[in-house]
């Protein structure tokens, strides 16, 4: 179908982590809505994870930014309320959103934990005018789930994503090709998808300050300055993008890492931290019905010196115990005894679980799979910390460390073109 006949929605949760936390607290008796005061979801400063993960709209006057340290944010706004992340909750909220959206189209692509593309092409027969349908979806999410979303509408994914950012929160915006010049070109060039800080600096030096400036620049010049990336951002500035809404796009790898609450100085504690990280990676693999063909371990010491090591597995697996055993072997091979502050585990070369190869060297694999599945079901229903290994009691380590979803699980749009 021609791009001009496509109707694509981009659904974006407003201040996702903070909104989900606020709704959860209100549902459990709190009277204060975190969304109405200067507040952020962030790590624990004392545990060296003091980063702003999400912020409320009232923090805007203080110029608090996602990714900056809590220490810096507190200097800007001394009365800032900081709440810790609750990753299991975010997974539940994301899945609840997907459940609603699946009723409106069979073609849905989750772009991140709080962003979803929906192909509404030919759905008007069932749901009426696309703008009215978007408003119905937005209001239904607010009524049933308690949080708000922005919905951008266009003929391709890029413009739909740009549309959802035009004005927040709780809005529906269109950005079709004939609207680009009025709605998108006046925006600062750094607001264009795929134009990062470094590219922005270089564009400013060339006298390019708005998306319109970029769109009207000779693409051959941009390719001289930025190579293939120059052509890409020129096309995006002109609204050119035609990737499909993919229901099952390839996942290249699943990773998990964490800055530790204390320096690791002995092998036993290092192995325990690896187990915590591997628990999360293995659960995610099982959730998308994939097995890892390669496992990597990454370490960073107190002096910020880093090292990594990987191994190709004889038989792909998603077993927590098997992946943990290999992670420990890799760790032992690269750790030189220096105190560690950061650890990471990554599974790659993923294979579908629909075709599983048994191994003579893992005679209890079916039993392990059954145990892993049972544990996953308990954690999904009652929370990630509802069942844990006894070795984590009084250890000072979270039984399942790391973030909720890593970037490589949701590839950037440029990789989908």
Per-residue pLDDT reduced to its tens digit, 284-319: 888 888 889 899 999 988 887 889 999 998 888 899
Q: Hey, what CATH topology would domain 185-238 get?
A: DNA polymerase; domain 1 (1.10.150)
407: pLDDT strictly greater than 60 = no
State the average pLDDT for the chain.
Answer: 86
Q: How many CB atoms lie within 10 A of CB 163?
A: 27
Q: Say if residue 3's pLDDT is above 60.
A: no
Is domain 253-409 given the CATH code 3.30.1490.100 in the classification?
A: yes
Residue 263 has pLDDT above 60, yes or no: yes
Evaluated on CA atoms 169, 173, 175, 180, the torsion sign reads negative
DSSP 8-state secondary structure symbol assigned to residue 51: B
Inter-residue contact 341 to 260 (CB < 8 Å): yes
- Residue with the two structure tokens 């509408």: 153
Domain boundaries, the chain: 3-13+88-180, 17-86, 185-238, 253-409
> From CA 408, how far away is CA 288, in angstroms rounded?
14
Q: Kindly indicate the confidence band of residue 249, based on its pLDDT and cuts at 50, 70 and 90.
A: low
When comparing pLDDT for 105 and 357, which is higher?
105
Fold of 3-13+88-180: Alpha-Beta Plaits (3.30.70)
* Bridge partner residues of 108 (DSSP): 118
Architecture of domain 17-86 in this structure: 3-Layer(aba) Sandwich (3.40)
Beta bridge partners of 115: 12, 112
pLDDT higher than 70, residue 258: yes
Among residues 21, 115, 235, 279, the one annotated as catalytic is 115
Q: Is 115 a catalytic residue?
A: yes
Buried b (16+ CB within 10 A) or exposed e, 349-358: bbbebeebee
351 neighbors 283 (Cβ within 8 angstroms)? no
Q: pLDDT-based confidence at 362, cuts 50/70/90?
A: low
Query: Which is it for strands 39-42 and 340-352: parallel, antiparallel or unpaired?
Result: unpaired
How far apart are alpha carbons 138 and 241 in whole angstroms? 25
């Amino acid at each position: 179908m021609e791009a001009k006949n496509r109707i694509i929605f981009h659904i974006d949760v407003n201040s996702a982590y903070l909104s989900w936390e606020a709704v959860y607290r209100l549902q459990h008796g709190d009277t204060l809505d975190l969304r109405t005061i200067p507040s952020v979801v962030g790590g624990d400063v004392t545990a060296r994870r003091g980063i702003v993960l999400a912020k409320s709209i009232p923090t805007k006057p203080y110029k608090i930014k996602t990714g900056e340290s809590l220490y810096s944010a507190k200097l800007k706004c001394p009365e800032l309320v900081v709440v810790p992340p609750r990753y299991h909750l975010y997974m539940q909220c994301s899945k609840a959103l997907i459940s609603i959206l699946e009723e409106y189209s069979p073609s849905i692509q989750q772009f991140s934990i709080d962003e979803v593309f929906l192909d509404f092409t030919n759905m008007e027969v069932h749901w009426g005018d696309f703008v009215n349908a978007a408003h119905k979806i937005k209001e239904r999410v607010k009524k049933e789930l308690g949080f708000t979303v922005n919905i951008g509408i266009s003929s391709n994914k890029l413009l739909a994503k740009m549309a959802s950012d035009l004005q927040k929160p709780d809005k529906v915006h269109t950005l079709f090709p004939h609207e680009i010049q009025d709605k998108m070109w006046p925006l600062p060039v750094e607001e264009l998808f795929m134009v990062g800080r470094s590219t922005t600096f270089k564009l400013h030096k060339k006298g390019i300050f708005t998306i319109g400036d970029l769109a009207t620049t000779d693409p051959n010049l941009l390719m001289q300055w930025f190579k293939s990336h120059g052509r890409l951002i020129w096309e995006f500035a002109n609204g050119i993008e035609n990737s499909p809404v993919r229901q099952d796009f390839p996942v290249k790898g699943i990773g998990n890492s964490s800055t530790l609450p204390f320096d690791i100085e002995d092998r036993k504690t290092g192995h325990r931290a690896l187990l915590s990280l591997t628990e999360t990676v293995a659960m995610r693999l099982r959730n998308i019905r994939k097995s890892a063909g390669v496992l990597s371990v990454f370490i960073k010491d107190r002096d910020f010196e880093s090292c990594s090591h990987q191994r190709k597995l004889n038989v792909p697996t998603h077993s927590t115990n098997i992946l943990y055993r290999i992670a420990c072997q890799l760790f032992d091979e690269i750790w030189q005894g220096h105190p560690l502050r950061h650890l990471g585990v990554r599974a790659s070369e993923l294979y579908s679980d629909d075709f599983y190869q048994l191994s003579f060297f893992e005679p209890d694999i079916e039993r392990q799979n059954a145990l892993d599945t049972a544990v996953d079901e308990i954690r999904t229903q009652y929370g990630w910390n509802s069942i844990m290994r006894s070795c984590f009691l009084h250890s000072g380590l979270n039984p399942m460390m790391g973030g909720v979803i890593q970037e490589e699980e949701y590839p950037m749009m440029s990789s989908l073109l």
